Amino acid sequence: MTEFRSGFICFVGRPNTGKSTLTNALVGDKIAITSNRPQTTRHAIRGIVNLPDAQLVLVDTPGLHRPRTLLGKRLNDLVLDTLSEVDIICLCIPADEPIGPGDKWIIEQIKPLARRARGDRSARSAPGAAVVGIVTKLDKVTPDKVGDQLIKLSQLLGDDAEVIPVSAKSGKQLDVLSDLLVSLCEPGPAFYPDGELTDEPEQVLMAEFIREAALEGVRDELPHSLAVTIEEVIPREGTDPPMVDVYAHLFVERDSQKGIIIGKKGARLKEVGTAARGQIERLLGCKVYLDLRVKVAKDWQRDPKQLGRLGF
């Protein structure tokens, strides 16, 4: 009989390397928001993969970067704290972009935390995390380019690290990646009940869905300046089918950004509400009335008190 295995696996990499998309694909449901904008992920989101012989707890983290604000520093600290506590570190490098200084800087952060990923069982039980290099977005380039990227990544990570190409979008190689991660986990119990997909509180997921909708199609400077809080969630009494009222605030740093979010005659904010409401209704399993208010919190990314109030 096969021993049950379990472990915590962290996806790390520069912003926009496909970490959240890969997390969602392996979990089989949407638990992390995705966007082509930097700094989309701001929390360590846990996704749970339940398999017949294993449970993988995937920790999707913000992109590691050279911080320019207090928020950026706190996000980096969150990632590095997470890396020190997991069993496997997966470095995500996109197939369609050259490996650059930012990737090499991240590898230097990983190396002190790594243990041998191959070899006998004594190497497996050594302190530290196994390291896996993942070349993402393989569907975007030719097989030759994927091969070149795998070779370069393997050379940077060293002989002890496994490297594998995947496409979260098409699902190609996801089963191979899943099998590899299971093989690197130690025998152990399931950490979460079977069928559970994430341990994120519903209010955190709701705020993330609103932020994802607000990020769609906005200017480059706005994503960094946008934060969302859920103020109240109130079930309506006597409604059939059930209905919930959700009140949320969207915070930006300047009045001009407030105008971008609201749009002409409120049209943009209405689009945000429509898109987010659909995601929240799916999450809660009932109809939702969503009330969105846009507020200015001047330079909140650099203000410790405001960062604390916004959950950072």
Which residue numbers belong to the known binding site for GTP? Answer: 13-20, 60-64, 136-139
Q: Which DSSP helix (H) or strand (E) runs through 243?
A: strand 243-252
Contact (CB, 8 A) for 22 and 31: no
Of the CA atoms within 13 Å of residue 178, those in its CB half-sphere come to 22
Tell me the one-letter amino acid at 223.
Answer: P
Q: Which two tokens stand for residue 235?
A: 């079930």
Beta bridge partners of 29: none
CA 121 to centroid of chain Cα atoms? 31
Distances in Å between the alpha carbon of 142 and those of 96, 137, 145, 168, 171? Answer: 9, 11, 5, 16, 17
Of the CA atoms within 13 Å of residue 115, those in its CB half-sphere come to 20
CA distance 118 to 12: 20
Residue 31 per-residue DSSP state: -
Q: Which two tokens stand for residue 276?
A: 């987010």
Sign of CA dihedral 277, 280, 282, 287: negative
CA 166 to centroid of chain Cα atoms? 17
Residues whose CB is less than 8 angstroms from the CB of residue 54 and which lie 6 or more positions away in sequence, other chains included: 4, 5, 6, 182, 185
- DSSP three-state, residue 158: coil
The annotation places the binding site at 13-20, 60-64, 136-139
